[in-house]
């Protein structure tokens, strides 16, 4: 028996998967485990498999790696299932985005208040929802005791959906909450002396606790805003190479001012159309790139993925040079491997997780996935209790975000054109009923959308 059997679905996204592979390799307490890579793209599957085997060999890491395109076969007796799969890949959604934009929906009909993230596919994520639910049902059948670690977005909707529809132990994970480290760094604080808590929904989390050396550190943010933000932004506007570098952007500070708590990580990418009307607006709030979800930011991101993938391919093609020269042997900040370690080896620790609320955060329904810290050990994931979020955030942010989540989930479960229509008829980009009908028709007519068209007929 291996120490643990981990099935890694959608492992073919090698840029991201390689990070997790390195995390495994740098975690000796999991040695002896079996890791099964699954992807429908064989070329990409071979890439990550070859990468893992060689890196492990170079590091003398004792793992059994396997690869397969047969998900159901792989799942047999799994202890952990990582779902990182994006159905149909980025390019498919870019085609839908183009059609949206031709009909007056900048950045696509999927982008709405508090979900402006370009690859957080909700209303048009039919295939993504279906894949995630199919995987969860396979887990339920083949490995009912396994932990399903959901990395695939939309983590908020999918964690809620899978937890409601299956008996599987689903935990959604997202590194966005680490955005607080940018805040800490910018304020010039020692991260080891900081105590933070971030709560909300995935991609909509707020700094509910921020202490430095035992004292409330929010005044330090206020001071920074008043004294240093202008200078910071001047420099930042000239040097924002990374479109994801927006934790301290004017958008974040404005959200803090309006909603009363500091928005953390991907939360800053959200908000209403106030921050997103067009590229110019985005650039005002998110810097010259317009942030990671502008047409520029997105291209930079795809280029980065291509570049990194090519580096990995090149490294693999050169057997004489250690892989560690290309992919650093440094543990990442992703929590997947540490969390598996905590469960397998009873290493009790706190993780930021997405799980059904079940009264952990007052005021949010029981059956909705919240993002919050939880304690993890060999007995599982243990909820804690938190104070209610401030009313302003609850009413103006979480409520509308939850509305869209419930709509997207119902649209997926029930089908029918009405859900798409209702989604759009309340959209500020909508100018007429005809526009709504036209964008729906054209979206559903895209080659590859036949099944989705049938679902939404």
Residue 194: Cβ within 10 Å count: 17
Task: Give me the 275-304 binding string for a copy of itself, x by CB under 8 A, dash otherwise.
Answer: --x---x-----------------------
**3 Cβ neighbours under 8 A, 6+ residues apart:** 30, 31, 32, 33, 344
Could you say whether residue 396 binds a copy of itself (CB under 8 A)?
yes
C-alpha span between 329 and 285 (Å, rounded): 36
Half-sphere exposure at residue 203, Cβ-oriented, CA atoms within 13 angstroms: 25
Q: Does 399 bind a copy of itself (CB under 8 A)?
A: yes
DSSP letter string, 132-169: HHHHHHHHHHH-TT-EEEE-SS-HHHHHHHHHHH--SE
Q: Whose structure tokens read 């809620």?
A: 160
Q: CB of residue 406 vs a copy of itself: minimum separation in angstroms?
A: 5
Q: Which among 317, 371, 304 has a CA at the least distance from the CA of 159?
A: 371
d(CA 452, CA 131): 13
Q: Is 31 exposed, middle or buried (0-12, 13-18, 19+ CB in 10 A)?
A: middle
**Is residue 311 a contact residue for a copy of itself (CB under 8 A)?**
no
Q: How many CB atoms lie within 10 A of CB 415?
A: 16
- Contact status: 165 vs a copy of itself (CB under 8 A): no
- For residue 186, the surrounding DSSP H or E stretch is helix 180-186
Nearer to a copy of itself by C-beta: 346 or 410?
410
What is the closest distance, in whole angstroms, from the C-beta atom of residue 407 to a copy of itself in the complex? 6
Per-residue binding letters, 404-423, with a copy of itself (x by CB under 8 A): --xx--x---x---xx-xx-
Question: Which of 138, 266, 341, 427 is labelled catalytic?
Answer: 266
Between CA 117 and CA 291 the distance in angstroms is 10
Q: How far apart, in whole angstroms, are the C-alpha atoms of residue 114 and residue 327?
A: 34
The number of helices, as runs of H, and strands, as runs of E, in the chain is 18, 13
Question: Binding of a copy of itself at residue 432 (CB under 8 A)?
Answer: yes
Q: Quote the least distance from Cβ 172 to a copy of itself, whole Å.
A: 22
Say whether residue 318 binds a copy of itself (CB under 8 A).
Answer: no
Tokens representing 24 are 């495994």
Distance CA 33, CA 422 (A): 48
What CA–CA distances, in Å, run from 437 to 109, 241, 445?
12, 39, 12
Q: Whose Cβ is closer to a copy of itself: residue 250's or residue 329's? A: 250
Which of 273, 300, 309, 415 lies at the binding interface for a copy of itself (CB under 8 A)?
Answer: 273
Task: Check residue 106 for interaction with a copy of itself (CB under 8 A).
Answer: no
Q: Which is nearer to a copy of itself, 11 or 398 (CB)?
A: 398
Token couple for 9: 């679905």
113 lines the binding site for a copy of itself (CB under 8 A) = yes
| Nearest approach, Cβ of residue 425 and a copy of itself (Å) | 4
Active site residue 276: no
Number of residues that bind a copy of itself (CB under 8 A): 30
The verdict on 194 binding a copy of itself (CB under 8 A) reads no
Residue nearer to a copy of itself on the CB measure, 28 or 428: 428
Is residue 274 involved in binding a copy of itself (CB under 8 A)? yes
CA 311 – CA 433 distance, rounded (Å): 48
Query: Which residues are within 8 A (CB) of 10 and not within 5 positions of it... i.e. 6 or more apart?
Result: 38, 39, 82, 83, 84, 85, 86, 152
395 binds a copy of itself (CB under 8 A): yes
Supply the minimum distance, in Å, between the C-beta of residue 251 and a copy of itself.
13
> What would the x/- binding string for a copy of itself be over residues 223 to 262, using CB under 8 A?
-----------------------------------x----
Q: Which of 175, 245, 254, 377 is catalytic?
A: 175
What is the residue whose two structure tokens read 């049902």? 137
Residue 430 touching a copy of itself (CB under 8 A): yes
User: Could you say which of 400, 415, 438, 453 contacts a copy of itself (CB under 8 A)?
Assistant: 400
Is 157 one of the binding residues for a copy of itself (CB under 8 A)? no
Paired residues of 354 in beta bridges: 172, 371
Residue 175 known to be catalytic: yes
Among positions 333-392, residues that touch a copy of itself (CB under 8 A) are 391-392
Return the range that interacts with a copy of itself (CB under 8 A); candidates 30-38, 153-161, 324-332, 427-435.
427-435
Q: What angle do CA 180, 186, 308 make, to 5 degrees?
A: 70
Nearer to a copy of itself, 386 or 419 (CB): 419
Distance of closest approach, residue 138 Cβ to a copy of itself, in angstroms: 26
- Residues with a known catalytic role: 175, 266
User: Which residues in this chain contact a copy of itself in the complex, by CB under 8 A?
Assistant: 113, 258, 272-274, 277, 281, 391-392, 395-396, 399-400, 403, 406-407, 410, 414, 418-419, 421-422, 425-428, 430-433
């Amino acid at each position: 028996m291996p120490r643990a059997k981990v099935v890694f679905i959608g492992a073919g996204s090698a840029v991201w998967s390689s990070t997790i592979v390195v995390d495994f390799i740098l975690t000796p307490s999991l040695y002896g485990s079996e890791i099964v890579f699954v992807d429908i793209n064989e070329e990409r599957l071979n890439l990550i498999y070859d990468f893992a085997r060689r890196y492990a060999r170079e590091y003398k890491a004792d793992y059994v790696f396997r690869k397969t395109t047969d998900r159901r076969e792989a799942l047999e007796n799994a202890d952990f299932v990582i779902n990182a799969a994006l159905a149909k890949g980025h390019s498919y959604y870019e085609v839908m985005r183009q059609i949206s934009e031709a009909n007056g929906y900048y950045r696509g009909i999927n982008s709405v208040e508090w979900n402006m993230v370009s690859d957080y596919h909700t209303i048009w994520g039919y295939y993504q929802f279906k894949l995630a639910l199919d995987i969860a049902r396979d887990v339920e059948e083949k490995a009912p005791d396994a932990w399903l670690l959901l990395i695939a977005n939309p983590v908020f909707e999918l964690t809620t959906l899978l937890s409601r529809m299956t008996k599987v132990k689903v935990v959604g994970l997202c590194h966005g909450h680490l955005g607080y480290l940018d805040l800490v760094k910018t304020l010039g604080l020692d991260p080891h002396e900081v105590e933070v808590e971030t709560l909300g929904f995935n991609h909509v989390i707020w700094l509910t606790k921020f202490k430095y050396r035992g004292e409330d550190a929010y005044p330090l943010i206020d001071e920074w805003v008043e004294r240093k933000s202008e200078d910071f932004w001047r420099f930042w506007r000239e040097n924002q190479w990374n479109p994801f570098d927006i934790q301290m952007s004017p958008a974040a500070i404005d959200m803090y001012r309006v909603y009363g708590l500091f928005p953390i990580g991907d939360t800053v990418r959200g908000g209403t159309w106030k921050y997103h009307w067009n590229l110019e607006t985005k650039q005002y709030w998110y810097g010259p790139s317009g942030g990671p979800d502008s047409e520029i930011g997105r291209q930079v991101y795809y280029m980065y993925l291509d570049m990194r993938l090519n580096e990995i391919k090149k490294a693999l093609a050169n057997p004489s040079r250690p892989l560690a020269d290309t992919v650093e042997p440094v543990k990442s900040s992703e929590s997947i491997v540490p969390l598996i370690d905590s469960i397998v080896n009873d290493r009790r620790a706190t993780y930021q997780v997405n799980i059904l609320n079940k009264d952990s955060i007052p005021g949010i329904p029981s059956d909705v996935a919240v993002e919050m810290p939880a304690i993890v050990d060999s007995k599982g994931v243990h909820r804690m209790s938190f104070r209610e979020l401030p009313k302003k955030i609850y009413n103006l942010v979480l409520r509308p975000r939850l509305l869209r989540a419930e709509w997207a989930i119902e649209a997926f479960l029930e089908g029918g054109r009405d859900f798409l229509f209702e989604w759009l008829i309340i959209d500020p980009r909508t100018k007429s009923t005809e526009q709504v009908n036209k964008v729906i028709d054209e979206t559903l007519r895209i080659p590859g959308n036949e099944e989705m068209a049938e679902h939404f007929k």
